[in-house]
Homo-oligomer: A and B are copies of this chain.
C-alpha cells in the first residue's frame, strides 16, 4: 500500500473515532432513559469496531448483570449474571484493567462458560472496566467471531468509552434540579479552593 493511501486510511479511522467520542459526549448531556442511551452506545461501538457483539454489564450487589447488548431484545438481558472475578468479564471488573485477547479467548485460563451466550465461542475479546469516581460500575465487552488483532487506538477508545459510560451512570442518578448554578462557583472560588 502506498504511504499516501495508508495515511488516508489512518486519517479516516481517526476521524471516525473523533466522531464516536463526539456522539457519545452528546448522549451524556441529553436527558434520555438510561437503557436507551446504553443501547445507543452499543450501536455506536458496533459500527465503529465492526464487531459481532458488544455487551454492557452493570454492577449490582457484587454481581455483574448484562444490561445492554447489540441484540437488544435478547432474553439474556437482566438474566445473565456473574460474580465479580468470575470469567474474563469478572476479571476485568475485579482488576479494573483493560483486557485484550486477539484469538481463542475461550482458551484463556480465566475464561468460564456459564452464560449460555453464543459470544462464549468467539475468538477475540476486548473488555474495559466502567469506572467513575474510583468505583467499578460495570464492564463493556467487544467481541469478534474471528481472530482480531486489537490496535492500541481501539484499546484506548474502549477505555475512554468505559469512563464516559461511568459518567453517564452517575449523571443518570441525579435529580434534574441538581443542576444548581450557585454551588459550582462557590466550589471553585471558595478560599480553600483558591489557596
Residue positions of A touching B, CB distance < 8 A: 3-4, 7-8, 10-11, 14-15, 17-18, 21-22, 25-26, 28-31, 33-35, 38, 58-61, 65, 67-68, 77-78, 131-135, 137-138, 153, 156, 159-160, 163-164, 166-167, 169-174, 176, 178-189, 193-194
Contacts and interface: CB of A to CB of B under 8 A. Distances in A.
A11 B11 CA distance: 5
A180 to B, nearest CB: 7
A33 B4 CA distance: 45
Given A21-B160, A26-B163, A132-B29, A179 B7 contact: no
B167 A171 contact: yes
Nearest to A172: B187
Contacts of A134: 29-31
Given A35-B194, A132-B171, A184 B138 contact: yes
A167 B3 contact: no
Q: How many copies of this chain does the complex contain?
A: 2
Contacts of A156: 18, 22
A163 B25 contact: yes
A156 to B, nearest CB: 6
A44 to B, nearest CB: 14
B167 A58 contact: no
Contacts of A131: 29
A56 B19 CA distance: 24
A28 B161 CA distance: 12
